[in-house]
Structures are given as structure tokens and as C-alpha cells.
Chains A and B, each alone.
Chain A
Amino acid sequence: MDLGQFLHASRVVIVAGKGGVGKTTVAAALARMAAREGLSTLVVQVEQSSGLARLFGRPPLSYAESSLAPAAGTIAEVRGRTITPDDALLEYLEDHGLRRISRRLVSTGAMDVVSTAAPGIKDILILGKVKALERSGSADLIVLDAPAAGHAITFLLSVRGLLDAVQVGPINAQARDVLELLTDPARCTVMLVTLPEETPVNELVETAFTLEDRVGVSLGPVVVNGLYPALSGLATPPDEAAAQAGAQLRPGEAEAMADAAAFRLRRHALQEAQLARLGEMLPMPQLHLPFLFSADLGPSHVDVLAAALRDGVSALEGPAPASPPTATA
């Protein structure tokens, strides 16, 4: 599929997945990939956490936008910001001529009363702010790092719930606008992230069906994160491989090598099985990201993942008819 076509399909991409699957990493890689194609990109996180900034080697984000990766040549800038419900509410009230009351609403804890009275209001405020950013055209692409999965469903479903609860007033109008954004594939796509493991795969499938059926969002390709890259020749016994290469192994090396190879082969096989299972349960295109053998991911890793994402997207079947498969012997 053409990369530009993919990136211009909708201005807002919501990246969602269960905790621990690397959702934030995927959001960062997607932003970096878009920036490399010249799209100025804004990443929005909805919880105060250091993960996203850390991936770009930057200090933690705040409500004000800051740069995550500078523009360079044809590469556009990646910016980031945190939008918490309290921030969004303050801004909302100030924009609606309620500046005097706004600080007090937050400081007296009345926000808790309001958000309990009208569940989903916090989510609407965040999504409403994202919608305003989309409308303002300040970025070519907005990547929203959604809350963890169970919550991602509530997060997106809350719009419909709120429409029932609050039938008049500015919040109702806001909820309608947000629902319009979420259900318009030309404006918004949800990308779901998983690991090639049993429970995350199950949860992803469940989330995908719920989001499509109950929210009516358009789902982009599914991102499978953390795949062990295949290495050929791992099944060869180390002594034999050394003899073939005319090399000498050190004491103990053959055993460590054989154990390590067995570990990787087993993991690889398990991951392949989960990929296949995901494909059967959810007939949607998949994008695969490699496991990077690092416990601390930084900007160089984000670049590697952005490149893998780009390759994956290019290999997707686009709307145009794909070239016929070549016959094999």
C-alpha cells in the first residue's frame, strides 16, 4: 500500500492495547514514521507517565506542546503533549467564559462530583480537545496514545453513554462532535496493538469486535509487537556449525549456544502459532514489529521500529488490485 495514502487516510490515529504490549512504543514509531514522510506529527498521551518522552530521550511531557524529535531536512517535527481530564476541563471552561469558576471547580474536588454525575465526561473532554486540535490543523497527523485496553473500550464507548445521560447543553454538543469524529473513517482510525501471546491476542480480538460493533470506529491494521526475528541455521548443532565455518568454540560455548538457540526457536514457534491464531480469529491485515533485545528503548529503537512499520505498510495490500502472485515451482 502506498505510504502517503496510508498516512493521509485519517488525521487522527488512536493507538490502543492492553497494558504492557508496547502501545506507547507503537505510537512513537508511528509518529516517527509519519514525520519521516514529511507529516508534522503530534503525539497526545492521556496519562501522566514518562514512557513516551523517554522513548524520544526527552524530559516528561506537560499540557503545553513540546518537541519530541526536531525537523531535519525532509523529516518533519514530532511534538508531544499530555492532556489529562483536569487540564481539558479547565481549558474548556475558560473557552466558554467560565474562567472565574474553573479553578475552583477543580480545586474543590467538584470535578469528581461532576464526573460521577455524568460518567464519561472526562473522556469526552479529552477527545473533545483532540477534535479541536484536529480541526485547528496544527498537525498533519495526531497520534493518540489511548489508555490501557479495558479502559480503551470504556474510553471510546463513554461518548454514547454520555449522550444518553446529558441530553442538552455544551457537553451534549461536545459528545456529538466527538462521536462524529470517531465514526468517520476519513478523520479517525483506531490501531490496536498486541503481543504474539495468548492472553493479549484474546483481548485484542475482543476489543476489536467491541469497538467495531458498539462504537462504530474504523480499525486500521493490527500491530503485533515484539516478534523475534527469524534467524536461519539455529537448529544446527554448534559443534557442527563451528566445523563448517572452520572455527573453534570456547569451553562451555557449545552448550550455551545450543540452549540459547533452543530458547529462540521455541519462542519463535510459539509466536508464529499466536500470529496464525490471531489471523484466524480476526481477518484483518497485520503489521509486525521486531523484538529489539533491549530492556531500555530510546530514539534509535524508535527509528528501527518506524522503519519496520514503514516496510510493513508498504507490503500491505492497498485498495488498488495487488500484482498477481508469481507461480512457484
Chain B
Amino acid sequence: MTGGTGLGDLVASAAILVCCGSGGVGKTTTAAALALEGAARGRRSVVVTIDPAKRLADTLGVASLTNTPSRIEGDWPGELWAMMLDTKSTFDDLVAQHSADADQARRILDNRFYRNISSALSGTQEYMAGEKLYELHEEDAFDLVVVDTPPTRHALDFVDASRRLTNFLDHRLYRLLMSPTRAYLRAVNLAAQAFVRTVSKVVGGEVLDDALAFFSAFEGMEGGFRDRAERVQALLGDDATAFILVTSPRADTVAEATFFASKLEESGISVASLILNRMHPRFGTGRPEADRARARTHAGTDLGSLYANLGDLRAMAEGEEEALSGLSARVAPAPVVRVPFLADDVHDLDSLAHITTHLFPA
């Protein structure tokens, strides 16, 4: 073991685990396995997934996951809960909480521009994931919150989402338009209006009217949203939060993961653990070149095939180690955990528990 904290220690002590990585590397399953391990260690843990696939619900043995945690029953000393992030209803709740009265809330919730935000504005899902984990953390009903992030290329989209979205909601274009036309502001305002006319020529006036009506209805709520966003960001930067980088051992996904790690570093966050999924096993200690040479010598025989296969698989295992070496060094002393490619997809709690035997070897 390295000088860092082991993955087991993280699960035992962290308040929040954020799993990040590119698409198709097994983030959702990894997040669920970490929460399960938390429960096995006596903690009250909850996994928040953003993956709409029904597979995780099936795995956990529940009919479906919703925006509020469902308890998963099982034989562990702690508690296991799971939920699927619903971006729109999380945002709706936030609007309801921060609006001055029911009328303001209704004007926002009914606005077409607002309804598009949750589905079309990039970063909203990340923003709401952060919001949800903050809410769960504050609730005190859970010791460990594990969140599975959207497969964004930029890890910072997650860390930064709340700030960026708050800026959006407080959009200066709108401020310019609505600001009192004092003499010194007039020139700016005229430019802004010309700008709006141009935009409405492109997309149509009605669409833009919706947007302006939204910003107008939102007025007065920016402060509340901004405070909240700052608290979410502070929590993400807190020592109680650990970022876990998940990747598969292919050069292209490793390049993405390395980019992720460097972006996190830039904002002062270090990777707490690196999880490598879908690793090919290593068979014995021989070199693939030698196996392949013998495969050629014995070409056409069963022995030739056996050598060829041994060479293929050893070359694969070597190639994976090579692809990963830079990344492992970069995140050091964070522990690196290898999970082999599993023949079967994870279908139920037993197979999920099987993953934890790889993540947390005895």
C-alpha cells in the first residue's frame, strides 16, 4: 500500500465520494459498489445515480429509482439507500424554496424557457447533482453520500457547475436590458437592444420573450441561489469530500482521465483513488514476443493456437499497464485499485458484492 489513504479508509471515513470519469467505464456500478461497502462497514450510505438505465434499480432489487432515496434491504450492519437524480424536480424544489411567494414560483415553473433549462442547458445536470448531494449531506440521515457524475469530459463541469449556472441565472445581458436607462448606460443599453433584435431575427421573437419573461420572474432570487451555490462548492472542496477517478485501461480513456486529473489539480482537488475497471488478467510471467514467436514455429497445431492466445493476452495485459503507468504516477500517492473485466454484467446484489471483493481485497 502507498502513503495515501486506502479505498477502504475512504469508504469508512469520507462523507462524500464523487465518482468521475468518461462514459462506458463502469462509473455507475462502481458508485453502487462503494455505497454497498459503506453499508457493510456499518455506515448509512446512499448512492445517487444520474444513469437513467433501469439496470441499477434491477441490480439493487427495486422496481425503480426516484428522486428521493429508496432503502435497499439486505444483510449488512449499516443502511443502503439509492436514488436517481431527476434534474427537473430537483430544480423545481430549489425554485420553490427560494421564491418569495407561490406566485413567483408559479410564474417561473410555468415558463417555457425555464422548462427547457433542465433538458437543454449544459451543466444543469451537474449543478443539480451537486445540489442533491449537498441536500443529502445536510439532512443528517446519511453518513456517506456516493455520487455518480454525468460523463462530462471536463471534471470541472461538475465542480464549477453551480457557479456557472448561477452566473447564467444572473445573466448580464438581461441586466443590461432591464437596467434603468441612465444617460451613461444608454449607449450600452442601445447596443444590447440591437443585439436582442438580432438574436430574435435568428430564433424568432417569441422564444426570446420567454427567456426575458423568465429572467424577469427570477429577479430577486439570485442571491439565494448564489449563497446555496457557494455552499455546494465549499462542500465539494472540503476534506470530507473525496474524488474517485474511474477509467478503463485503454490509451484513449486514460488520456481523458489524465486530463480530468489535471483539471481537478488546477482547482486544488486531488484524486483520492484511481479505479481501473475492465482490466485483462495477466497469465504467468512470460513475454508476449516469445509466445508469439513460438506460435509461429508451431503454426497450424493446437500448441500454436495456445501460444498465440497466451501471446495475445499477455500483450494486452502489458499494453494496459503501459497505458496506465503515467496516470498511476500522476495520482500517486492515491491508491490504485484494479478490477478485472467481469464476464457477466452486474445483475443483482450478489454480483455487486462480488465487485467489492475486487475493490476491497481482504
Contact: A295 with B316, CB < 8 Å?
yes
Contacts A20-B248, A199-B53; A263 near B281 (Cβ below 8 A): yes
B121 touching A115, Cβ below 8 Å: yes
Bound together, the chains give a CA A244 to CA B304 distance in angstroms of: 11
Q: How far is the CB of B277 from chain A (nearest CB, A)?
A: 10
Q: Which residues of B contact A172 (CB under 8 A)?
A: 204
Contact at A51–B252, with CB atoms within 8 Å?
Answer: yes
Closest to A123 in B: B120
A280 within 8 A of B: no
A307 is an interface residue with CB less than 8 A from chain B:
no
* B316:A294 contact, CB within 8 angstroms: yes
Contact B250 A296 (CB under 8 A): yes
Most buried by B among A96, A113, A117, A297: A117
Report the separation of the CA atoms of residues A27 and B185 in the bound assembly, to the nearest whole angstrom: 52
Within 269-315 of A, Cβ neighbours of B (below 8 Å) are at: 270, 293-297
Closest chain B CB from A151 CB (angstroms):
9
Docked complex: B121-137 residues within 8 A CB-CB of A: 121-122
Q: Tell me whether A227 is interfacial, beta carbon within 8 Å.
A: no
Cβ contacts under 8 Å, B52 to chain A: 150
Residue of A nearest to B201 (CB): A169
Contact A245-B199, Cβ < 8 Å, known A20-B23, A264-B309, A296-B250: no
Binary contact readout B215-237 vs A (1 if CB under 8 angstroms, 0 otherwise): 00000000000000000000000
**Does B315 lie within 8 Å of A293, measured CB to CB?**
yes
Q: Give the residue of B117, B306, B345 whose beta carbon is less than 8 angstroms from that of A238.
A: B306
Which residue of B120, B286, B301, B308 is within 8 Å of A245 (Cβ)? B301
In the complex, A54 Cα to B259 Cα: how many Å?
Answer: 15
- CA of A150 to CA of B151 in the docked complex: distance in angstroms? 11
Inter-chain contact B313/A113, CB cutoff 8 Å: no
Contacts of B199 in A (CB 8 A): 105, 110, 114
Is B92 an interface residue, CB under 8 A from the partner? no
| Contact bitstring A102-113, B, C-beta under 8 A = 1, else 0 | 001100111011
Q: A219 at the A/B interface (Cβ < 8 Å)?
A: no
Instruction: Please tell me if B255 contacts chain A, counting CB pairs below 8 Å.
Output: yes
Check A168–B204 contact: CB distance below 8 A: yes
Interface pair A115/B120, CB less than 8 Å apart: yes
Chain A interface residue count, CB cutoff 8 Å, equals 76
Residues of B within 8 A of A236 (CB): 302, 306
Segment 248-263 of B: residues with Cβ below 8 Å from A: 248-253, 255-256
Chain A residues contacting B173 (CB-CB under 8 Å) are 108-110, 113
- Judge if B180 is at the interface, Cβ distance under 8 Å: no
The digit string for A250-270, where 1 denotes a CB below 8 A from any CB of B, is 101101110111011011001
- Whether B91 sits at the interface, judged by CB under 8 Å, is no
Q: Which residues of A contact B361 (CB under 8 A)?
A: none
CA distance A112 to B174 in the complex (A): 13
A20 touches which of B25, B116, B194, B315 (Cβ 8 Å) = B25
Contacts of A171 in B (CB 8 A): 202-204
Q: Could you tell me which B residues sit within 8 Å of A by CB distance?
A: 22-25, 52-53, 55, 113, 116-117, 119-122, 151, 153, 167-168, 171-173, 194-195, 198-199, 201-204, 207-208, 210-211, 248-253, 255-256, 281, 283-286, 298, 301-310, 312-316, 319-320, 322-323, 343-345
Additional A-B contacts beyond A233-B305, A234-B309 (7; CB < 8 A): A119-B120, A234-B302, A236-B306, A245-B301, A255-B284, A270-B343, A295-B320
A residues apposed to B, CB below 8 Å: 18-21, 24, 47-51, 54, 93, 96, 98, 101, 104-105, 108-110, 112-121, 148, 150, 165-172, 197-200, 203, 231-234, 236, 238, 240-242, 244-245, 247, 250, 252-253, 255-257, 259-261, 263-264, 266-267, 270, 293-297
